[in-house]
A and B are shown apart, each in its own frame.
Chain A
Amino acid sequence: MFRNVFWKTLYDQRRGLAGWSAAILILVGLESALWPSMREMTDLQEIYSKLPEELGKLFDLQSMTTGPGFLNAELFTLLLPALFLVYGIGHGAKSVAGEEEDGTLDLLLVMPITGARIVVQKALALFTCLFTLGLALFVATTSMSLVFDVGISAGQAASGSLAMTLLGAEYGALALAVGAIFGRRSTAIGVASAAATAAYVLYAAGLMVDAVEPWRPLSPFDQALTGGPLGAGLPAAYLWLVGGAAALVLIAMPALDGRDIAAHN
């Protein structure tokens, strides 16, 4: 487990990952358990039609009469993205800036390996952890769907889980990059959270305000959530998320070798 920075980081995350996976399982389980009673409510359609139209668009309420539609509205368009962002940004900010503030980065950088290599391995570990959480989400969604007869196929669950992973990866990579460049965890968390909030506002405004609509695809939230995310298939928009995360890692790579590392005190 201590072979390199990548494995060491995974080792550090082992308990956190187990906890987050358990939380996801419980959350998806509770929500899925609600589905059978929701389905029984015959006048559901009527209730939704009374809600403001904008709210309906934001949470895709029209399709809430199906199992995938229900979970999309209840979990995959806000709560789960938020969870993956919190994990991704927290982990990303800790990756480099956290080690610098703790004072442990000094000795890593004094080893005969480049700062760029440390950044890349930290980023790969971040992505692996998010992928693990995505996998936990996939397992939770498919198994709970079987238990409570929600009717979500493996393919639908896969696209939803992938979307969450990619969204977390993009903002996790942003936090990692900002942390690598500025060396402060708080800056990394602040910038990444602000960027995610702005992107969500753009996404939501695009859904509700016609003038903003053309800009909506620029938002990573739109890229991740459009057409699903449960059951979105494999939209090309996911490539923007992959590309964005990769670009942020590229930007972060030279950061450590190019600036002064703060002394611990």
Chain B
Amino acid sequence: MDAAIRTEGLSKNYRSHRALRELNLEVPRGVVFGYLGPNGAGKTTTIRILAGLISPTSGTATVLGNDVVDRCEDVQRHLGYLPGEFVGYPDLTGAQYLRYLAHLRGGVDWSEVERLAKRFELDLGKRFKTLSHGNKQKLGIVQAFMHRPELLILDEPTSGLDPIMQREFLALLRETRADGRTVFLSSHILSDVEAVADTVAILRSGELVITQSVDALREQALRRLELTFSGPPPVDQLKRAAGVQEINWDGSGTVQVEVAGSTAELLRIAAPHQIINVISHDADLEAIFLDYYTARS
């Protein structure tokens, strides 16, 4: 079967500004794909090309096997789209707005709308202009998911959601993936997508820096461990363990170790030395991410 999204040499210039340069991207079906990059990297530009709102300067993009320029309507029929700045009609209630979009789509199972609204605790009877930022964003999420599309393209979807709704949203993404459907979501914050994405692509100044599975990314990540021993720590032996980058020892029973990848060998070496406590800090993906953001290109 075709990939959910495939771009070849996709470029976009705004006058002389090259917002997207020769992007080659492949998103398989049935995954949650995180599209990361700092503000201005070209995420929204990519997404608007995929949604058929702007056309590429050169290169091609296909969505679910259809060219986004030539077969725009075929793409859109199976697409759920949440723009970066979602806006509804100020005077329409959520229900009126969703009915309108549902009609334009040629019909939507209304029980799905109600289910989503209930799940996100969204009052569909309120006018758009009276909704808080978070509730507006929820309405945007409901309209993107209500027709159970094959592919969801979401531009910074978690902005404005409170932590509880954010968790609910991540659960929705996982269920969508379990259905075999595909989610492509952008963010400029890694932690927003790390919890749910299978694969992330990192974009910088319109160029793809890396595409990698989150697991592989985690492998590279530095992990900080605090090992406490009842006697003097075996610092020299620990230094030789695989993956150990740095050891700090202040002469007490506790050493701080930075490890890249697996901590298995380090712990195996430490184990016979009357180790009494291990504190492991989260893999610092953010550091790698920032590294890609800034240094490499």
Cβ of A104 and Cβ of B85 under 8 Å apart? no
Cβ of B85 and Cβ of A110 under 8 Å apart? no
> 1/0 contact trace for A2-30 toward B, CB 8 Å?
11110010001000000000000000000
Nearest opposing residue in chain A for B47, CB measure: A263
Cβ of B103 and Cβ of A3 under 8 Å apart? yes
Cβ of B76 and Cβ of A110 under 8 Å apart? yes
CA distance A106 to B77 in the complex (A): 15
Cβ of B103 and Cβ of A112 under 8 Å apart? no
Cβ of A114 and Cβ of B104 under 8 Å apart? no
CA distance A113 to B52 in the complex (A): 12
Cβ of B76 and Cβ of A260 under 8 Å apart? no
Chain B interface, number of residues (Cβ within 8 angstroms):
30
Cβ of B85 and Cβ of A102 under 8 Å apart? no
Q: Is A37 an interface residue (CB 8 A)?
A: no
Q: Is A109 an interface residue (CB 8 A)?
A: yes
CA distance A5 to B105 in the complex (A): 12
Q: Is A111 an interface residue (CB 8 A)?
A: yes
Indicate which residue in A102, A106, A114, A265 contacts B53 across the interface (CB closer than 8 Å).
A106
CA distance A264 to B99 in the complex (A): 23
Cβ of B73 and Cβ of A103 under 8 Å apart? no
Q: Is A47 an interface residue (CB 8 A)?
A: no
Interface residues of B in 59-109 (CB under 8 A from A): 72-74, 76-77, 79, 81, 83-85, 87-89, 91, 96, 99-101, 103-106
Nearest opposing residue in chain A for B97, CB measure: A2
Indicate which residue in A8, A107, A263, A264 contacts B143 across the interface (CB closer than 8 Å).
A107
User: A110-B51, A110-B53 are contacts. A263–B81 as well, Cβ < 8 Å?
Assistant: no
CA distance A28 to B87 in the complex (A): 40
Q: Is B44 an interface residue (CB 8 A)?
A: yes
Cβ of B83 and Cβ of A107 under 8 Å apart? yes
Q: Is A212 an interface residue (CB 8 A)?
A: no
Cβ of B104 and Cβ of A104 under 8 Å apart? no
Cβ of A103 and Cβ of B106 under 8 Å apart? no
Cβ of B100 and Cβ of A109 under 8 Å apart? no
Cβ of B53 and Cβ of A2 under 8 Å apart? no
Q: Is A194 an interface residue (CB 8 A)?
A: no
Interface residues of A in 232-265 (CB under 8 A from B): 257, 260-261, 263-265
Q: Is B3 an interface residue (CB 8 A)?
A: no
Indicate which residue in A3, A112, A264 contacts B76 across the interface (CB closer than 8 Å).
A112
Cβ of A6 to closest chain B Cβ, rounded Å: 11
Contacts of A263 in B (CB 8 A): 44, 48, 53, 83-85
Cβ of A264 and Cβ of B52 under 8 Å apart? no
Cβ of B55 and Cβ of A104 under 8 Å apart? no
Contacts of B276 in A (CB 8 A): none
Cβ of A253 to closest chain B Cβ, rounded Å: 15
Q: Is B271 an interface residue (CB 8 A)?
A: no
User: A2-B99, A110-B81, A111-B105 are contacts. A104–B54 as well, Cβ < 8 Å?
Assistant: no
Q: Which 3 A-B pairs have the closest CB atoms?
A: A260-B54, A2-B100, A103-B87
Can you name 26 A-B residue pairings with CB atoms under 8 Å? A2-B99, A2-B100, A3-B103, A4-B103, A12-B89, A103-B83, A103-B85, A103-B87, A104-B89, A106-B53, A107-B81, A107-B83, A109-B52, A109-B53, A111-B76, A112-B74, A112-B105, A114-B73, A260-B54, A260-B55, A261-B53, A263-B44, A263-B53, A263-B83, A263-B84, A264-B87
